[in-house]
């Protein structure tokens, strides 16, 4: 099994999660409603932290549930955890092994809050610490760079949101995600050829906004850990507050742009970057208007709604990072200096 094969597994993994865990998710949602949780407090690291960024937008927008991203060192080194009254305390980790994430969930339970582990390891320390476990059902992920566990974490977060909202129609949209991801994977050969253009790229920025703020961070992370490119993620709005000064002719800008609420804002930013600053754009989008601005356009299925676009848009970004890794002559299976499981305190 390789990184590439695990990227290609994602439609099957998403279908398995949706079919096997819906009842469990509905039970978890019922428990959350019964406890009248006022906000979510989420602990994660790395790729799982980017899944938490998606939850921040989705649970806030769809469920009216504010979300705070935890600062685990307050629980470990400082031993001064904040008060978490009436919180849903969530740990997200593909391995469930990191002590600092486990410590947040343990403290959340000690303070009398409902706790949830979202993990690919249902027998892990994180799962054992939580009241409820949402097994993301991704199967063994052997590649160091997380791909299928990330999209399954996003699916788990989306499933819980739909269950909390009680909107039957949205389950039908979730059932289409695997097909949309399958369609995105058909871009594999095109993205392989496109990556050749960026063989010598050493730095870039990655832009997203709204739900795809998470996608920008995850795409940048994959570029850093696999290709060693200095890839910095930004909200397109934050990028205008100073960092845009680094852009000159030919500067590479990656962007994820989905049709929806933030589309016009993203288009304003990309138009300025392309027409006024002469940046080199790589754009993942389901809108022809956005794709037309890019030197390297990567289309995704038009049917995916904005709230689910992060599950689809990250897939061509994963393929881009994978193929660029090979183009640069690096080993996609053994990124330097990092391991599959990182246990931080």
Residues 32 and 127 in one domain: yes
Are residues 58 and 309 in contact, defined by beta-carbon separation less than 8 angstroms?
A: no
Residues 61 and 190 in one domain: no
Residues 114 and 158 in one domain: yes
Q: Per the structure, how many domains does the chain have?
A: 2
pLDDT tens string for the chain (345 positions)? 799 999 999 999 999 999 999 999 999 999 999 999 999 999 999 999 999 999 999 999 999 999 999 999 999 999 999 999 999 999 999 999 999 999 999 999 999 999 999 999 999 999 999 999 999 999 999 999 999 999 999 999 999 999 999 988 899 999 999 999 999 999 999 999 999 999 999 999 999 999 999 999 999 999 999 999 999 999 999 999 999 999 999 999 999 999 999 999 999 999 999 999 999 999 999 999 999 999 999 999 999 999 999 999 999 999 999 999 999 999 999 998 877 566 676
Q: Which of residues 143, 175, 207 is at a domain's end?
A: 175
Are residues 207 and 256 in contact, defined by beta-carbon separation less than 8 angstroms?
A: yes
Domain containing 224 — which CATH number? 3.40.50.10490
Residues 89 and 191 in one domain: no
Residues 6 or more apart from 191 whose CB is under 8 A from it? 298, 316, 319, 320, 323
Give the domain range for residue 204. Answer: 185-327
Q: What is the pTM of this model?
A: 0.97
Give the orientation angle of helix 309-327 with respect to helix 213-222, to 10 degrees: 20
Residues 23 and 164 in one domain: yes
Q: Which of residues 175, 207, 238 is at a domain's end?
A: 175
pLDDT the model gives residue 168 = 86
Burial class (CB in 10 A: 0-12, 13-18, 19+), 337: exposed
Residue 338 domain-assigned (yes or no): no
Residues 118 and 87 in one domain: yes
């Amino acid at each position: 099994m390789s990184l590439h094969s695990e990227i290609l597994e994602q439609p099957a993994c998403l279908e398995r999660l949706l079919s096997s865990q819906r009842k469990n998710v509905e039970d978890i949602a019922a428990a959350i409603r019964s406890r009248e949780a006022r906000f979510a407090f989420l602990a994660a690291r790395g790729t799982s932290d980017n899944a938490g960024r998606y939850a921040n937008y989705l649970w806030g927008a769809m469920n009216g549930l504010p979300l705070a991203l935890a600062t685990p060192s307050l629980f470990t080194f400082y031993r001064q955890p904040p008060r978490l009254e009436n919180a849903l305390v969530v740990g997200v980790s593909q391995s469930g092994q990191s002590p600092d994430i486990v410590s947040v969930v343990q403290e959340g339970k000690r303070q009398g809050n409902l706790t949830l582990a979202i993990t690919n390891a249902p027998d892990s320390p994180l799962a054992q610490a939580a009241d409820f476990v949402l097994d993301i059902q991704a199967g063994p992920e052997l590649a160091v760079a997380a791909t299928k566990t990330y999209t399954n974490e996003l699916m788990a977060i989306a499933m819980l949101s739909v269950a909390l909202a009680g909107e039957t129609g949205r389950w039908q949209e979730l059932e289409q995600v695997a097909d949309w991801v399958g369609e995105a994977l058909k871009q594999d050969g095109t993205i392989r050829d496109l990556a050749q253009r960026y063989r010598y790229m050493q730095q870039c920025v990655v832009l997203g906004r709204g739900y795809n703020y998470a996608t920008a961070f995850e795409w940048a992370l994959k570029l850093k850990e696999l290709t060693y490119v200095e890839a910095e993620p930004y909200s397109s709005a934050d990028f205008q507050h100073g960092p845009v000064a680094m852009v000159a002719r030919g500067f590479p800008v990656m962007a994820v742009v989905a049709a929806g609420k933030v589309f016009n804002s993203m288009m304003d930013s990309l138009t300025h970057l392309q027409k006024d600053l002469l940046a080199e754009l790589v754009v993942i989008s389901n809108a022809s208007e956005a794709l037309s601005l890019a030197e390297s356009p990567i289309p995704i299925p038009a049917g995916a709604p904005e709230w689910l676009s992060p599950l689809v848009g990250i897939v061509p970004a994963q393929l881009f990072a994978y193929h660029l890794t090979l183009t640069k002559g690096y080993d996609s299976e053994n990124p330097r200096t990092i391991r599959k499981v990182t246990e931080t305190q």
